[in-house]
Amino acid sequence: MADANKTVRYFAKATGHVQGVGFRMYIQQHAMELNVSGWVRNMEDGSVHMELQGPEDRVEQLMD
């Protein structure tokens, strides 16, 4: 079970059909709603890289 009092930082890479479909914007908007900070970038290889930081329970909710 995730801890709401523990701050974590996750690095992730999404692959497949993730560019040109609003995936990056979805992650950014959902992260703002959950008060999670970080960045999301489209990469030249077609993947999306992200760094997400915040309360463990919220970061895990975003990653699910």
Q: Which residues of the chain have pLDDT under 70?
A: 1
What does the pLDDT read at residue 39? 97
Q: How many CB atoms lie within 10 A of CB 26?
A: 12
* Residue 24 known to be catalytic: yes
Separation of CA 42 from chain center: 12
- Taking the CA of residue 50 as centre, how many other CA atoms within 13 Å lie in the half-sphere pointing to its CB? 23
What does the pLDDT read at residue 4? 79
What does the pLDDT read at residue 10? 95
The residues facing 38 across adjacent strands are 52
Catalytic residue among 5, 9, 24, 35: 24
Catalytic residue among 9, 35, 42, 58: 42
Task: Return the CATH number of 7-63, one of 3.30.420.40, 3.30.70.100, 3.40.50.300, 3.20.20.30.
Answer: 3.30.70.100
* Residue 58 known to be catalytic: no
